[in-house]
Chain A
């Protein structure tokens, strides 16, 4: 994970950060969100960008997506609340997870020109959507802002559907141009592999734990919420579950963190 800090030493990575943050903020503004819970979350077409930027710019995209969301959605868009702290971390993970899994697990580049490349793209998109939804919703539940279950459902759907549909199209259009221009993150940060020459066993284990911690964690925590009376959407009365739900969520978050540590 040291690339997340090391990237600030490279001027081109800083330019990548500025590019990711500014474009994300602008697209968030241009395709203004259709609010579902006003000031908290809405349908965001701009969400096609995080997995694409992540696979191209690596750690610069992770920071860029987090800052771009803070500026374009929270500050200028009217969603700056106590939930924005979770939002910053969640959006950082939106930009962090796809490249982290890809550069450890998949030997094929993410050009999305083959079925297998598209399937891998959809897999990393699924993981990034699940962990983002889990982290933001868990934070909002813990601070008593918005209940976990409806928020997790909305964020996950939001973060998965748009990039799953339009992400591969966008990737096909820009991957080669970015590669030829020498902007891929491993072209700038020497010593890192864009795709692995061999997949180590601990990276495989790490990916399994990340999958369990994010996808299974999201489903299990939503399950706890539903079982204890928190409705999935507009139910007879939305309420906070509190400790049982937060503890369940945290357990899976720890599993996810161990997985990320194994991915290195």
Chain B
């Protein structure tokens, strides 16, 4: 399990302005929600994977493969139970009927969610947290909020490490908090969460001191070490992304790439 996502590689995607990358992630979400046919949802996933290859970070997504495989499997298993419309029945038992359209829709949802998760991960693999914070401020998010959000991203890897240490400590005592029935997990969760919380509180107790010792004034106007500047390649990247978004929306409006026209 890796805890720091950013990978320092010299690639075209790394060099892009973080605002352009944020815009791309937003557009991937729109593209993913546009289609509910697996072939078209797969095409969106393909674009995301191509971007990861271009960014030279495709090998870094290994940690997400198992959770995503579980997600896709759960999608294919459960979504057909919620979408009970169609013309071709694949399986029927009493009132339970599984339609071909529902299975196609389920596969599409799995691929769509995978594309969205990987787009978010691609952003974090290719963008430093400091750049992300600067981008959020330039996008007019109030500075304390942008600082808070970037601090959350910064602390998650550390706290994740702490969490696995607590779990390992419990396992060494003969208790596996991640095993057992749901009720057992619920009951055990308090004994896991309490040490994680206390460790985190100790770690974060120095944060206000650090902020104040550096003269933190939330309302003051600030200068930044990282200077973001949009260049021609950033604009070109955004134009291509926008054009793709328009094309995909027009395709959807024309009925292309949909199994169920009345569902997202």
Query: Do A and B bind?
Result: yes
A4 to B212, CA, bound (A): 21
**Residue among B83, B117, B156 making CB contact with A25, cutoff 8 Å:** B156
B 44-71 to A, binary, CB cutoff 8 A, 1 in contact else 0: 0000000000000000000000011011
Q: Does B163 contact A (CB under 8 A)?
A: yes
Inter-chain contacts of A18 with B (CB < 8 A): 148, 151-152, 155, 204, 207
Inter-chain contacts of A31 with B (CB < 8 A): 178, 185, 189
Return the chain A residue nearest B84 by Cβ. Answer: A237
**Residue among B193, B201, B219, B263 making CB contact with A181, cutoff 8 Å:** B201
Q: Does A173 contact B (CB under 8 A)?
A: yes
Inter-chain contacts of A205 with B (CB < 8 A): none
Report whether B148 and A37 are in contact in the complex, using a CB–CB cutoff of 8 Å: no
Report whether B95 and A236 are in contact in the complex, using a CB–CB cutoff of 8 Å: yes
Report whether A48 and B148 are in contact in the complex, using a CB–CB cutoff of 8 Å: no
B 139-173 to A, binary, CB cutoff 8 A, 1 in contact else 0: 00010110111011101100110011001000000
Q: Does A135 contact B (CB under 8 A)?
A: no
Q: Does A204 contact B (CB under 8 A)?
A: no
A181 to B206, CA, bound (A): 12
A248 to B79, CA, bound (A): 27
Q: Does B200 contact A (CB under 8 A)?
A: yes
Q: Does B264 contact A (CB under 8 A)?
A: yes
Given contacts A26-B160, A26-B196, contact A48 B117 (CB under 8 A): no
A42 to B203, CA, bound (A): 31
Inter-chain contacts of A68 with B (CB < 8 A): 152
Report whether A237 and B113 are in contact in the complex, using a CB–CB cutoff of 8 Å: no
Q: Does B91 contact A (CB under 8 A)?
A: no
State how many angstroms separate the Cβ of B143 from the closest Cβ of chain A.
9
Q: Does A261 contact B (CB under 8 A)?
A: no
Q: Which residues of chain A from 141 to 184 have any CB-CB distance to chain B below 8 Å in the complex?
A: 143-146, 150, 161-162, 165-166, 169-170, 173-174, 177-178, 181, 183
A38 to B194, CA, bound (A): 29
> Interface range on chain A: under 10, 10 to 19, 20 to 34, or 35 or more?
35 or more
Inter-chain contacts of B155 with A (CB < 8 A): 18, 22
Q: Does A80 contact B (CB under 8 A)?
A: yes
A169 to B71, CA, bound (A): 31
Q: Does A189 contact B (CB under 8 A)?
A: no
State how many angstroms separate the Cβ of B18 from the closest Cβ of chain A.
15
Inter-chain contacts of B160 with A (CB < 8 A): 26, 29-30
**Residue among B82, B120, B264 making CB contact with A238, cutoff 8 Å:** B82
Given contacts A78-B67, A177-B198, contact A15 B204 (CB under 8 A): yes
**Main secondary structure on chain A at its contact with chain B?**
helix
Report whether A166 and B142 are in contact in the complex, using a CB–CB cutoff of 8 Å: no
**Residue among B70, B74, B148, B201 making CB contact with A14, cutoff 8 Å:** B148
Inter-chain contacts of B153 with A (CB < 8 A): 71
Report whether B167 and A30 are in contact in the complex, using a CB–CB cutoff of 8 Å: yes
Q: Does B238 contact A (CB under 8 A)?
A: no
State how many angstroms separate the Cβ of A162 from the closest Cβ of chain B.
5
**Number of residues from B at the complex interface, CB < 8 A:** 70
Report whether B85 and A237 are in contact in the complex, using a CB–CB cutoff of 8 Å: yes
Q: Does B75 contact A (CB under 8 A)?
A: yes
Q: Does B211 contact A (CB under 8 A)?
A: yes
Q: Which residues of chain A from 219 to 254 have any CB-CB distance to chain B below 8 Å in the complex?
A: 234, 236-238
Inter-chain contacts of B183 with A (CB < 8 A): 165
Report whether A78 and B147 are in contact in the complex, using a CB–CB cutoff of 8 Å: no
Indicate the member of A31, A37, A78, A150 with the most B CB atoms within 10 Å: A78
Given contacts A76-B120, A78-B67, A166-B189, contact A35 B200 (CB under 8 A): no
Inter-chain contacts of B262 with A (CB < 8 A): 144
Indicate the member of B109, B159, B198, B200 with the most A CB atoms within 10 Å: B159
26 contacts between A and B (CB under 8 A): A8-B145, A14-B148, A14-B151, A14-B208, A15-B211, A18-B155, A18-B204, A25-B156, A26-B156, A27-B189, A27-B196, A30-B163, A35-B78, A38-B78, A38-B79, A39-B71, A39-B112, A68-B152, A76-B121, A77-B117, A80-B116, A144-B264, A169-B190, A170-B194, A181-B205, A236-B95
Residues of A in contact with B (beta carbons under 8 Å apart): 8-9, 11-12, 14-15, 17-19, 21-23, 25-27, 29-32, 34-39, 43, 45-46, 48-49, 63, 67-68, 71-72, 75-82, 143-146, 150, 161-162, 165-166, 169-170, 173-174, 177-178, 181, 183, 234, 236-238
For the complex of A and B, 10 pairs with smallest distance between CB atoms: A8-B144, A11-B208, A38-B75, A169-B190, A38-B74, A35-B74, A75-B120, A15-B207, A11-B211, A12-B208
Known: A39-B112, A78-B68, A143-B264. 9 other contacts (CB 8 A): A38-B71, A45-B185, A78-B67, A78-B117, A81-B116, A162-B186, A173-B190, A181-B205, A237-B85
